[in-house]
Amino acid sequence: MPDDQDGAGLRRTGPAPSRTLSPELLAGLRTAFAGEVDRRLPRLRRLRQDPDQQVLAQALRDAHSLASSAAVVGADELSRCAARVETGLQRCLSDPAAGFPAPVAADAEQLTALLEGWRPA
Amino acid sequence: MSPAAGAGLTVVVVDDSAVQRRFMRAAVEADGDFSVVGEARNGREAVSLVARLRPRAVLMDLDLPVLTGIDAIERIMSASPTPILVYSAFLAGSNNVNALEALAAGAVDVLAKPGPDDTGTLEDYAAALRAKLRVASRVRVITHPRGRLRLQGMAGSAPSLGGGDRRPLRPTAEPDRGDVRLVAVGASTGGPQALLALLARLPADLDQAVLVVQHMAAGFIPGLAAWLDGLVALPVGVGVSGCRLAPGTVTLAPSGSNLLLADDRLRVLCTPPAPGQFHVPGIDATFASVAAVLGDRAIGVLLTGMGRDGAAGLLAMRRRGALTIGQDAATSAVYGMPAAAWALDAVERQLALDQIAPAVLGAVGRALA
């Protein structure tokens, strides 16, 4: 390990800090993200089957968390898609009469597809 | 148990996402002064862990299961007061009021989570995070049930210095302040709570406009405006370039630019920050423009905050005859900016937080309601 780098994987502050995450840290983050995908993907798939408010609320939490975590591991498209789903689900939950509109369902389907295709490496 | 000692700046990280916990730990511990001594996955764990470990600071996501971030902050600040820095996903199109609720519950500061469209690197983010954490760890926190943030509570929560410290600025004479048109307020760390305490005591029919510059992570200013708007009598909004400040309204400087007073019709302009300007929007820039345009027809108020932004601008206001007020050390979350202003002789009256609104109203010939 270089002497200006600590075990946490980010270089210590100093006159010439690194501008990128260390490979070790990034690998660890991606492994952790894979675990989040495995846990949240089945719940997001439930949006395909006429979701009730409880399913929408859980999907909102999942989309919210995935949007942030994906940004950290560099999965930017996935992060943006999850944020769109989160925004759409917030609208659904604030106006239950609106149901689960097609544009939100389409974004959710795209998110599911992106998650299914995501690999840590 | 006393706060953890001997391990530098100890931190507890709270997030239900393993990815975020791991990243935050790495970001914090990249500086050897910091040590993450515990991780919690939900609000309930956070309350318990903070009580047991007594860290110097808590780094907390707002969106938590079991017990929400807001509830966790309230319980921590009630049972084992600790500086809390919250981070939250900035949601476009949302007013992000939750972040302001966190500040009302006792959190020290808020920052946005890393996002896919950030212009900086994750290392930039980590450096900014550590800087905020370092400031947060120095904030003096008190047992802080939510009720204390409401108007009645704020009035009695802090020791008062009576009439405050007052000193003349040589060689100017006491100005005539019969035609004050604008109250300019600057704040940073601890500012949202202080702003609430100040603005909540101003009447809805105030004849002056109020212009506020609050240092805050980009994107959260609209949330601050919405939050304050729901709690104070004066309407609160975010300024846009070219608009005029109306009497009896509060205008917040937007993120990303300086808000300058352009003319004595109280028109404001958004201008790009100077190269190297650390805080954007900048308080100095706004105060200096107010000094140039209104002279003694303005009041400057510099509230709690780290650093020295606003001190030079407040001095410019005082030199032009404006009444200048600095929050005192006893009631400031961080006595940095007001101290810098005091050292420059920019502060005419140094007051406890609960004395500032009466002083402002007194200066414009109004009594406290």
- Phi and psi at residue B325, to the nearest 5°: -125, 135
* Domains, chain B: 9-147 (3.40.50.2300), 169-363 (3.40.50.180)
Summarize pLDDT for A64-80 with one digit per residue, the tens: 999 999 999 988 899 99
Structural tokens at position B236? 């609160």
Helix (H) or strand (E) holding B56: none
- Average pLDDT score over residue span B210-236: 90
- Cα–Cα distance, A72 to B25 (Å, whole number): 13
The residue of chain B nearest to residue A18, with distances taken between CA atoms, is B123
B113 touches chain A (CB under 8 A): yes
Residues 52-71 of B with CB under 8 A from A: 63, 65
A96 touches chain B (CB under 8 A): no
Summarize pLDDT for B121-175 with one digit per residue, the tens: 888 888 889 988 988 888 877 655 553 443 333 333 333 333 455 555 444 444 4
SS3 call for B273 = coil
Class of the A23-117 domain? mainly alpha
B70, B22, B21: which is closest to B43 by C-alpha? B70
Q: Per-residue confidence at B65, pLDDT binned at 50, 70, 90?
A: confident
Longest dimension (CA), chain B: 62
- Average pLDDT score over residue span B74-83: 90
User: What integer pLDDT is reported at residue B172 of this predicted model?
Assistant: 42
A76 touches chain B (CB under 8 A): yes
Mean pLDDT for chain B overall: 85
Q: Which of residues B212 and A15 earns the better pLDDT score?
A: B212
Beta carbons within 10 angstroms of residue A38's beta carbon: 10
Instruction: Name the residue ranges covered by the structural domains of chain A.
Output: 23-117
Q: Which of A8, A20, A69 sits opposite B17 (nearest CB)?
A: A69
A29 touches chain B (CB under 8 A): yes
User: What integer pLDDT is reported at residue A7 of this predicted model?
Assistant: 37
Which chain B residues contact residue A29 at CB under 8 A?
19, 22-23
- Cα–Cα distance, B69 to B357 (Å, whole number): 31
Summarize pLDDT for B100-119 with one digit per residue, the tens: 888 888 888 888 888 887 77
Please report, to the nearest 10 degrees, the dihedral formed by the alpha carbons of residues A95, A97, A102, A103 taken in order: -20
Give one word for A60, left, alpha or beta, with left for phi > 0 and alpha for psi -120 to 50. alpha
Reported ipTM: the value is 0.78
List b or e across B236-274, with b for residues whose CB sees 16 or more CB atoms inside 10 angstroms: bbbbeeebebeebbbbbbbbebbbbbbeeebebbbbeee
Q: pLDDT at residue A1 above 60? A: no
Identify whether B215 is a catalytic site residue: yes
- Average pLDDT score over residue span B287-313: 95
Q: Which of B23, B31, B130 sits opposite A29 (nearest CB)?
A: B23
User: What integer pLDDT is reported at residue B90 of this predicted model?
Assistant: 62
Structural tokens at position B237? 């909004």
Structural tokens at position A10? 């980010």
Q: Which of A12, A17, A83 sits opposite B32 (nearest CB)?
A: A12
